[in-house]
A and B are shown apart, each in its own frame.
Chain A
Amino acid sequence: MSGTSTEYLLLLTAVTAVVTFLLRALPFLFFGTGRRPPALVLSIGKVLSPAAIAMLVVYCFACYVRDRAPADHLFGLAEIAAAVVVVALQLWKRNPLLSILAGTAVYMTLVQTVIP
Chain B
Amino acid sequence: MNRKPVLKQAFVSSLPVLMGYTTMGFAAGVLLATNSGVEHPALWAFLTSATSISGALQFMLVDWIQKAQPMLEVALLTVCLNIRYSMYGLSLVERFRGLPIAKKLYLIWSLTDETYALEVENKVPPGGDSILYCLTLAALNHCYWIIGVVSGALAGTALPFPNKGIDFAMTALFLVILTDQCRECRNRVYAAVGLLASVVCALVFGAGRMLIPSIILMLSALIVFRKPLEKLESWRPGGRS
Contact = CB atoms under 8 A, between A and B. Distances in A.
Interface of A: 1-4, 8-9, 11-17, 19-21, 23-28, 31-32, 37, 40, 42-66, 78-79, 82-83, 86-87, 90-91, 94, 96-97, 99-101, 103-104, 107-108, 110-112
Contacts of A27: 86-90, 92-93
Contact of A99 (B176, B182, B219): B176
Given A28-B93, A108-B165, A97 B20 contact: yes
B contact patch SS: helix
Nearest to A29: B89
B12 interface: no
Contacts of B140: none
A101 to B, nearest CB: 7
Given A97-B24, A100-B27, A103-B172, A9 B38 contact: yes
Contact of B83 (A25, A31, A49, A65): A49
Given A28-B104, A53-B194, A86 B89 contact: no
B97 interface: yes
Given A4-B65, A54-B194, A58-B199, 8 more contacts: A15-B78, A16-B78, A56-B174, A58-B202, A58-B210, A59-B214, A99-B172, A100-B24
Contact of A45 (B81, B83, B180): B83
Interface size class of B (residues with CB under 8 A): 35 or more
Contacts of A94: 180
Contacts of A111: 164-165
Contacts of A60: 170-171, 174
Given A23-B85, A62-B202, A48 B96 contact: no
Contacts of B64: 3, 12
A84 to B, nearest CB: 10
A55 B89 contact: no
Given A4-B38, A100-B176, A83 B222 contact: no
A86 B208 CA distance: 25
29 contacts: A3-B36, A3-B65, A3-B66, A3-B67, A12-B61, A12-B64, A12-B74, A19-B78, A20-B52, A21-B52, A25-B89, A28-B96, A40-B226, A45-B87, A48-B219, A50-B190, A51-B222, A53-B181, A55-B214, A55-B215, A56-B80, A58-B202, A60-B170, A61-B171, A66-B206, A82-B171, A86-B175, A87-B175, A100-B173
B166 interface: yes
Contacts of A97: 19-20, 23-24
Contact of A16 (B19, B57, B164, B172): B57
Contacts of A45: 83-84, 86-87
Given A12-B65, A49-B84, A23 B171 contact: no
Contacts of B218: 48, 51-52, 55
B108 interface: yes
